[in-house]
């Protein structure tokens, strides 16, 4: 009875962890905050995601070193060709616009597509990816909350995998115990029949 309860508990826990892992990794994939850059010269915040690049163009100063986010994020879909044309036109006017150099980081190159393909493949095969921050231009990028959502989802999947292994072990060991109990009962029944037949023969 205790073994059955343990099997059910482990199975339910693995299902819950799988569902939580799917929700967290989906939220991480669709969030733009994988890498966040604060551009203090323009009072702007750039968020680089897998699907979108988002900009909060205006951040008002509350006190020294503190900013208050007033405007919402304005996002650009990375696969949008019209957005690429706008970026190209902006780059052509790089001498007139000092902020145009930053838009170079928003172009969706072929190696971006390759990296995105391998990320999706690694999620499908449940591998663990290690992401590191880096320096881009003058501004240092920091890891956003989407990375940690994705990391927690991956950890949930690992926990679900461990629980699934334990559940399988419990099922297999339970079947073996049932088989041994069946064999013991069969042998005892055969022995009882043998003793009964021997006693009947001796009496006759």
For residue 17, give every residue at least 6 positions away whose Cβ sits within 8 Å of its Cβ, in sequence order, or none: 156, 157, 159, 160, 163
CA dihedral of residues 88, 134, 72, 28 (deg, nearest 10):
110
Nearest to 141, CA basis, from 131, 150, 149: 131
Inside any domain, residue 131:
yes
pLDDT, position 183: 63
At 87-129, the pLDDT tens digits run: 677 666 655 555 555 555 566 677 777 888 887 887 777 655 5
Inside any domain, residue 16:
no
Inside any domain, residue 8:
no
Inside any domain, residue 163:
no
Inside any domain, residue 184:
no
Name the pTM for this structure. 0.49
Strands (E), 118-188: 135-136, 139-140, 142-143
Question: Which band of pLDDT confidence, cut at 50, 70 and 90, is reported for residue 135?
Answer: very low
In this model, does residue 34 exceed pLDDT 70?
yes
Q: Is the dihedral of CA 53, 134, 123, 108 positive or negative?
A: positive
Inside any domain, residue 73:
yes
Among 36-50, 88-102, 103-117, 152-166, whose mean pLDDT is lowest?
88-102
Strand-pair category, 139-140 with 142-143: unpaired
Mean pLDDT in residue range 156-175: 83
Inside any domain, residue 171:
no
Q: Which residues form the domain of 43?
A: 34-143
Q: Return the percentage of the chain with pLDDT > 70, whole number.
A: 55
Inside any domain, residue 152:
no
Structure token pair of residue 73: 């994020």
Mean pLDDT in residue range 161-188: 72
Mean pLDDT in residue range 25-50: 80
Count up the domains in the chain and report the number.
1
Question: Which band of pLDDT confidence, cut at 50, 70 and 90, is reported for residue 174?
Answer: low
Nearest to 51, CA basis, from 84, 24, 73, 80: 80
- Residue 1 burial (10 A CB sphere; 0-12, 13-18, 19+): exposed
CB of 157 within 8 A of CB of 149?
no
């Amino acid at each position: 009875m205790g073994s059955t309860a343990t099997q059910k508990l482990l199975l339910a826990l693995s299902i819950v962890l799988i569902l939580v892992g799917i929700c967290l990794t989906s939220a991480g994939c669709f969030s733009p905050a994988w890498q966040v850059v604060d551009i203090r010269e323009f009072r702007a915040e750039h968020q680089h995601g897998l699907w979108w690049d988002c900009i909060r163009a205006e951040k008002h100063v509350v006190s020294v070193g503190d900013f208050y986010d007033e405007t919402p994020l304005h996002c650009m879909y990375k696969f949008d060709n019209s957005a690429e044309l706008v970026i190209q036109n902006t780059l052509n006017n790089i001498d007139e616009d000092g902020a145009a150099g930053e838009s170079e980081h928003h172009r969706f190159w072929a190696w971006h597509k390759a990296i995105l393909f391998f990320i999706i493949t690694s999620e499908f095969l449940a591998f663990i990816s290690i992401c590191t921050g880096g320096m881009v231009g003058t501004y240092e990028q920091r890891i956003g909350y989407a990375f940690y959502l994705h990391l927690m989802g991956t950890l949930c999947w690992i926990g679900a995998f461990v629980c699934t292994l334990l559940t399988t072990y419990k099922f297999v060991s339970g079947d073996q115990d049932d088989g041994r109990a069946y064999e013991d009962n069969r042998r005892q029944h055969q022995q009882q029949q043998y003793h009964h037949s021997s006693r009947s023969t001796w009496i006759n």
